[in-house]
């Protein structure tokens, strides 16, 4: 294969950003093939930028463009994060449809496609990531690029009934089919998209994941993303991890740790999770003083109104639960609205008895996989996992719950806290085998193997 060209809104140009799953996966692939990574620089400017900021790091070329304030407002904050994000997470009620924002979204896709197309060479393979760039494949075709072009959606794809609520759904779908390969996190997301193409545009399933629609053939398949399992296991035994584990142990004493780590986002089901924790202590007073639930929730997109409301709701719920159940020497639910390093998180996961991953909707959820890899084999913790996370398709030996059902989630936490060692080990070994075998390289290799023109 020739050069790999990655396009994503945020890149790993900043070495500190190379810790997350996507950043590591793309970064490693680009280093192997000597490729380029196009995206937003993170800088906002008043005037439309001319050209891009180009630099190299470890053999990888970064080509970054600034966004204007207007582009940031309409393309990023409005269309990507207040139309596509909520609808794709089944939250029509939170969508702020806006045709002007769609126009700017489309313009930014085209502008960046122009920057990319100018630098593409025959033999290159283009891999576009995520919901900011649904239109990028089509824009590249218009700019004259004919080589292999694939797209991976990191977030869920909604049922057709919801997708059709987006006024521009037909434009989005038509443009998406300009990609040679469209990858989803789960078979469920794939099925939603295929059903949309079949019902709306008489798409024809040709077998082998190929769909014929809009006069072209596109591969539509599920490629569940993985993590770097050894990297995360190693992170859990660094001095930084030990220090974090030690610090929280001082606070825990003999108590069991139940941990959650999520970006503060309404898709992650945090209010429902807090309610379930309250229910746990209501239903099992014998757990009083024996368990400490710690939720780490770094704020994200704090300029968007719905995120500000979520923050207020979490403050309120945590205050109520601690007011109802806490005692002079015990805080049942600690909620920390800040971020920690990857090593610190790994250290906290390592000593947790229960990992709570209960999103209302999630493309995959990498935290579930990271939690597994940080567990010690001799005394592993238990994963409580939402059936609505993409990860639930793979991690069948977790305790799978409906995150809307606070009674069942509370019982699953209780079951996890009281589970005999032997059962914890049996479940954990099976989960570890999945996370290890279906890792980040497996994901990347499967996608790139398919990333050739479908005909």
Which one of 216, 341, 402, 425 is in contact with ligand GDG (CB under 6 A)?
341
Helix (H, G, I), strand (E, B) or coil at 53: strand
Angstrom distance (rounded) from CA 276 to CA 290: 17
Angstrom distance (rounded) from CA 365 to CA 381: 18
* Contact between 83 and 91 (Cβ < 8 Å): no
Least distance to ligand GDG from the beta carbon of 156, Å? 8
Helix (H, G, I), strand (E, B) or coil at 57: strand
Site size toward ligand GDG, by CB under 6 A: 23
Which one of 158, 260, 278, 363 is in contact with ligand GDG (CB under 6 A)?
363
- Identify the H or E element spanning 45: strand 36-45
Q: Is 154 labeled as catalytic in the residue annotation?
A: yes
* Residue number, 176 or 364, with CB nearest to ligand GDG: 364
Angstrom distance (rounded) from CA 43 to CA 435: 36
Cβ-Cβ contacts under 8 Å for 228 (sequence gap 6 or more): 21, 24, 25, 439, 440
Least distance to ligand GDG from the beta carbon of 227, Å? 7
Which one of 42, 147, 231, 298 is in contact with ligand GDG (CB under 6 A)?
298
Q: At what angle do helices 239-252 and 342-351 cross, to 10 degrees?
A: 50
* Residue number, 111 or 342, with CB nearest to ligand GDG: 342
Count of helices and strands (H, E) across the chain = 17, 16
Question: Is residue 356 a contact residue for ligand GDG (CB under 6 A)?
Answer: no
Binding to ligand GDG in span 65-124, by CB under 6 A:
none
With tokens 């968007």, the residue in question is 304
Q: Which of 154, 180, 397, 439 is catalytic?
A: 154
Return the range that interacts with ligand GDG (CB under 6 A); candidates 6-14, 326-334, 360-368, 440-448: 360-368
Which one of 155, 182, 259, 385 is in contact with ligand GDG (CB under 6 A)?
155
Q: Which of 209, 362, 397, 439 is catalytic?
A: 362
Angstrom distance (rounded) from CA 298 to CA 291: 23
Count the Cβ atoms, other than its own, within 10 Å of residue 273: 28
Cβ-Cβ contacts under 8 Å for 53 (sequence gap 6 or more): 41, 62, 63, 64, 65, 66
Return the range that interacts with ligand GDG (CB under 6 A); candidates 13-21, 32-40, 245-253, 380-388: 13-21
Nearest to residue 77, comparing CAs of 362, 361, 303? 303
Looking at residue 92, the DSSP 8-state letter turns out to be G
Question: Is residue 375 a contact residue for ligand GDG (CB under 6 A)?
Answer: no
Per-residue binding letters, 183-212, with ligand GDG (x by CB under 6 A): ------------------------------
Question: Is residue 154 a contact residue for ligand GDG (CB under 6 A)?
Answer: yes
Return the range that interacts with ligand GDG (CB under 6 A); candidates 19-27, 29-37, 51-59, 277-285: 19-27
Question: Is residue 182 a contact residue for ligand GDG (CB under 6 A)?
Answer: no
Nearest to residue 133, comparing CAs of 232, 43, 38? 38
Binding to ligand GDG in span 244-283, by CB under 6 A:
261, 263
Question: Is residue 365 a contact residue for ligand GDG (CB under 6 A)?
Answer: yes
Question: Is residue 364 a contact residue for ligand GDG (CB under 6 A)?
Answer: yes
Q: Is 107 labeled as catalytic in the residue annotation?
A: no
Question: Is residue 21 a contact residue for ligand GDG (CB under 6 A)?
Answer: yes
Question: Is residue 20 a contact residue for ligand GDG (CB under 6 A)?
Answer: yes
**Residues known to be catalytic:** 154, 362
Site of interaction with ligand GDG (CB under 6 A): 19-22, 154-155, 225, 261, 263, 296, 298, 339-342, 345, 362-367, 370
């Amino acid at each position: 294969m020739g050069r790999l060209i990655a396009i994503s809104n945020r890149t790993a140009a900043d070495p500190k950003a190379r810790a997350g799953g996507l950043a590591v996966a793309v970064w490693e692939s680009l280093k192997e093939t000597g490729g380029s990574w196009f995206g937003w620089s993170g800088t906002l400017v008043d005037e439309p930028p001319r050209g891009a900021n180009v630099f190299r790091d470890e053999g990888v070329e970064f080509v970054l463009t600034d966004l204007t304030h207007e582009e940031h407002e309409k393309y990023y904050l409005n269309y990507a994060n207040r139309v596509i994000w909520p609808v794709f997470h089944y939250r029509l009620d939170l969508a702020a449809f806006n045709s002007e924002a769609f126009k700017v979204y489309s313009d930014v896709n085209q502008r960046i496609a122009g920057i990319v197309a100018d630098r593409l060479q025959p033999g290159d393979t283009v891999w576009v990531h995520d919901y900011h760039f649904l239109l990028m494949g089509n824009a590249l075709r218009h700019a004259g690029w004919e080589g292999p072009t694939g797209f991976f959606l990191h977030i869920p794809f909604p049922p057709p009934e919801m997708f059709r609520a987006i006024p521009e759904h037909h434009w989005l779908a038509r443009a998406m089919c300009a990609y040679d390969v469209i990858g989803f996190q789960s078979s469920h997301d794939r099925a939603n998209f295929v059903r949309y193409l079949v019902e709306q545009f008489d798409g024809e399933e040709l077998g082998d994941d190929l769909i014929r629609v809009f006069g072209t053939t596109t591969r539509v398949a599920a490629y569940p993303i993985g993590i770097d399992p050894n990297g995360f296991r190693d992170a859990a035994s660094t001095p930084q991890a030990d220090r974090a584990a030690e610090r929280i142990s001082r606070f825990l004493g003999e108590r069991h740790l139940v941990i959650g780590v999520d970006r503060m986002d309404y898709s992650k089901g945090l209010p429902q999770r807090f309610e379930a924790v309250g229910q746990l202590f209501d239903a099992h007073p014998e757990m009083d003083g024996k368990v400490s639930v710690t939720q780490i929730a770094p704020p994200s997109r704090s300029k968007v109104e719905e995120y500000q409301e979520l923050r207020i709701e979490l403050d309120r719920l945590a205050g109520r639960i601690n007011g109802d159940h806490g005692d002079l020497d015990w805080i049942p639910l600690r909620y920390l609205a800040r971020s920690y390093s990857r090593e610190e998180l790994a250290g906290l996961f390592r000593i947790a008895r229960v990992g709570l991953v209960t999103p209302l909707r999630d493309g995959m959820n990498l935290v579930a996989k990271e939690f597994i890899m940080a567990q010690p084999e001799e005394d592993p913790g238990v994963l409580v996992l939402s059936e609505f996370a993409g990860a639930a398709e793979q991690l069948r030996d977790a305790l799978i719950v409906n995150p809307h059902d606070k009674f069942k989630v509370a019982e699953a936490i209780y079951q996890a806290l009281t589970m005999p060692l032997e059962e914890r080990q049996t479940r954990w070994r099976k989960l570890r085998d999945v996370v290890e075998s279906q890792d980040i390289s497996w994901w990347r290799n499967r996608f790139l193997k398919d990333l050739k023109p479908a005909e």
